[in-house]
Chains A and B, each alone.
Chain A
Amino acid sequence: MSASAAADIVVIARRDLSRNLRQRNQWLGAVARPAVWLLILGAGLGTGRSADFISGYSYRQFTFPGIVVMGILFSGIMSGASIVWDREFGFLKEIRIAPVARTSILVGKLLAGTLLSLLQGIAAFLFFPFIGIGMTPLKIFLSLLCMAITGTLATSIGILLAGFVKTIEGFGNVNNLLAMPLFALSGAVYPLSGAPEWLKRVAYFDPFTYAVNLMRNAVLDVGAYPIADIAGLLLLTFMFLAAAYLRLDL
């Protein structure tokens, strides 16, 4: 990658970051959503049976990694909306007439989307002291790594979607029709081990099932390092990006 391509990527990513970070209400949402899940729903749902949770952890603790993934998943997928937005308000043309490689635009968008989703993940992650999860530097490092992997995956899905969904309203549906089911299937808020067989089979095809699993391994000291899952998620991310490159009108 040439120095100028790197500079282009930074310029593109920085614009997305600065225009998004200026939205104060987004920060409120980033903190409010995990708070609702962990403090309110966690309290309510935790009263049910707990046989299938990982032993030694409360429901809140069990679901905590999934809530971190939730913030990243929704934020990453919605980053595609920024491309749709740019297209609708004309700014995409301003980018397209610049002497910049399309790969730089794509990578710039990926970088910005991933960093923004990472911030959402971190906002949720910072609740760990309130639900009694101990942290070590290694756990924090592994958690950030998982968040980054999940963030690039979710963002690449969002970017690819921008090639198919042409209106902002349409992207609102993506939330309900895609992001929500992906989250619900992932086993973020219930243990898949106790789920009916058909649900397990569908969840098997949800990449975020593996992301939640990775996150749980990192946060809850399960002690496993599913390298194959990581490789699978990275490969999938790359495939989504390649498809986006072919499909998008960048």
Chain B
Amino acid sequence: MIALAGLGHSFGTTKVLDGITFSVRPGEIFGLLGPNGAGKSTLINILITMLRRKEGSVLVDGFDPDEDPDLVRARLGVIFQDSTLDERLTLRENLRFHSMLFGMSRTDTDLRVGESLADVGLTDRADEPVMRLSGGQKRRLEIARAVIHRPKLLVIDEPTTGLDSRARKEIWDRIKALNRDHGATVFLTTHYLEEAEVCDRIAILDRGRIVATGSPDEVRASGGYDRVRIKTRRFAEVGAAAEMMFGARVAPTDAADSIELFVADGSALIAGLYARFGASISVTEFRKPTLDDAFIALTGNLPDDPDSGAALHMRNLVRERRLV
């Protein structure tokens, strides 16, 4: 559905996208992750014909956005990060405007506008101006609008930024339903890593380059390390052995009798250490890497997710420092 090969772009002398190559298969939900400034918006703008690329090739459903923008636009449903509704028009007028510009007949328009409003539970608000809706309702309306012309590809920039958790869940259920019921391919960007878990496949973009692609499981495995916390009085010996035998990285902890080990294969490490040290050690924590860990390992950045463990940890550290 999307095929990018060697896509590059620059603003002035600043290279913002460099050698981007990946493809999105028909019918999948594909997530593009990356810290702020990674180039996500630029990539989306190129896909949706808002920006002409400088290098490489881009095909959307077989068409080049630079060569045939109208053919690409007709296939796309786009939901931008910030609202693009006309607040003064009514819900119905917003949907009608969109439908007519996408070349739908009058009968089709009337039919589907009614359907869409019912679908997102806004039928009774149809003739009110959009400005009276809540943030979550506006988002639902935007989703309804973006798919009213039955696009093959739905492009969503940060679908849930600024929404509360209930509204976020609602939006995600809707995206999944669209994907399932209409077979629409979904390409989205997000910095909520737990949302990336919903995707069939993800790519991580960092400073204009793709640093990982695959299913969330694959990416998680490629980036992060297993974390093993061991309680022992012989930590110097244990640490040295873990380093030598398994290439583990050893980190001190806040407890005097514990160390933390970061290693590719945590299970093998634990088995090896038990075989050697027996009862003088005990494993108090064993954690597989999360997508957060992979993200940090791959980009050197903390994810922006306010709920994520790493961000929380960092904030706590900062808070502690400030107190001192």
Contact = CB atoms under 8 A, between A and B. Distances in A.
Interface of A: 4, 7-8, 11-12, 15, 18-19, 22, 89-91, 93-101
Contacts of B71: 99
Contacts of B69: 99
Interface of B: 48-50, 69-71, 73-74, 76, 78, 80, 82-89, 93, 97-98, 100-103
A97 B50 contact: yes
Contacts of B102: 98-99
Q: Residue among A19, A91, A94 with the most chain B CB within 10 A? A: A94
A97 B49 contact: yes
Chain A residues touching B, majority SS: helix
A94 B50 contact: no
A90 B89 contact: no
A222 B46 CA distance: 58
Contacts of B73: 97-99
A158 B70 CA distance: 27
B214 to A, nearest CB: 30
Contacts of B80: 90, 93
Contacts of A93: 50, 78, 80, 84
14 contacts: A7-B100, A8-B100, A15-B93, A18-B93, A91-B86, A97-B49, A97-B50, A97-B73, A97-B78, A98-B73, A99-B70, A99-B102, A99-B103, A100-B101
A246 to B, nearest CB: 16
A96 B50 contact: yes
B103 A4 contact: yes
Contacts of B76: 97
A96 B49 CA distance: 9
Contact of A90 (B70, B82, B88, B100): B82
B40 to A, nearest CB: 16
Residue of A4, A99, A100 with highest tally of chain B CB at under 10 A: A99
Contacts of B89: 15, 18-19
Nearest to B83: A90
Given A22-B88, A91-B85, A93-B80, A11 B70 contact: no
B1 to A, nearest CB: 17
A90 to B, nearest CB: 4
Nearest to A89: B87
Contacts of A100: 70, 101
